[in-house]
Amino acid sequence: MRDIPVGLIGYGIAGAVFHAPLIRACPQLRLAAVATSRKEQVEALGVRAVATVAELLSDPEIRLVVVASPSDTHFELAGAALAAG
């Protein structure tokens, strides 16, 4: 059963090749939404794409956030995810 809805920030190499496939392979997780500019690629997976991190973090369904953006943005985005609960 997939019961933890996951939000993924970023769908570049790290998000598309590593994080999204691993999240989707874990039976306890469900990739619920991805914050990305690559909307068509994400929606081809049957996953909702959102345009901004703020939109992802304001989604009450999301219980876990994975940051797959460029390294220099991790601190800020992880902090924003923690602040969003």
Q: In this predicted model, what pLDDT tens digit does every residue of 8-17 receive, in sequence order?
A: 999 999 999 9
CA-based nearest residue to 63, from 41, 39, 32, 35: 32
12-65 confidence digits (pLDDT tens): 999 999 999 999 999 999 999 999 999 999 999 999 999 999 999 999 999 999
Percent of the chain with pLDDT over 90: 95
Q: pTM for this structure? A: 0.93
SS3 state of residue 9 = strand
Q: Give me the count of residues in the chain.
A: 85
CA angle 74, 78, 84 (to 5 degrees): 150
